[in-house]
Amino acid sequence: MMLHYTDVAGFKAIGSQMNWMFKAGRPPGGRPFGAYFTTLRPDAHRFSARTRIPKAKQDFVFSFNGQDGLEPMDGGKGEFIFLSQIDYTVVLDRQVFHGPTKELL
CB-CB contact of 72 with 78 (8 Å): yes
Over the window 13 to 52, marking each residue x when it contacts other proteins by CB under 8 A and - when it does not, the resulting string is ------------x-xxxxx----x-x------xx-xxxxx
Q: Which is nearer to other proteins, 50 or 94 (CB)?
A: 50
Per DSSP, the three-state class of 3 is strand
Rule CB under 8 A: say whether 76 interacts with other proteins: yes
* Contact residue for other proteins among 8, 12, 69, 78 (CB under 8 A): 78
Q: Which is nearer to other proteins, 79 or 92 (CB)?
A: 79
Rule CB under 8 A: say whether 87 interacts with other proteins: no
78, amino acid identity: G
Q: 13-44 burial string, b = 16+ CB within 10 Å, else e? A: ebeeeeebebebeeeeeeeeebbbbbebebee
> CB 96 → other proteins: shortest distance, Å?
21
CB-CB contact of 36 with 86 (8 Å): no
Binding site for other proteins (CB under 8 A): 25, 27-31, 36, 38, 45-46, 48-58, 73-79, 81
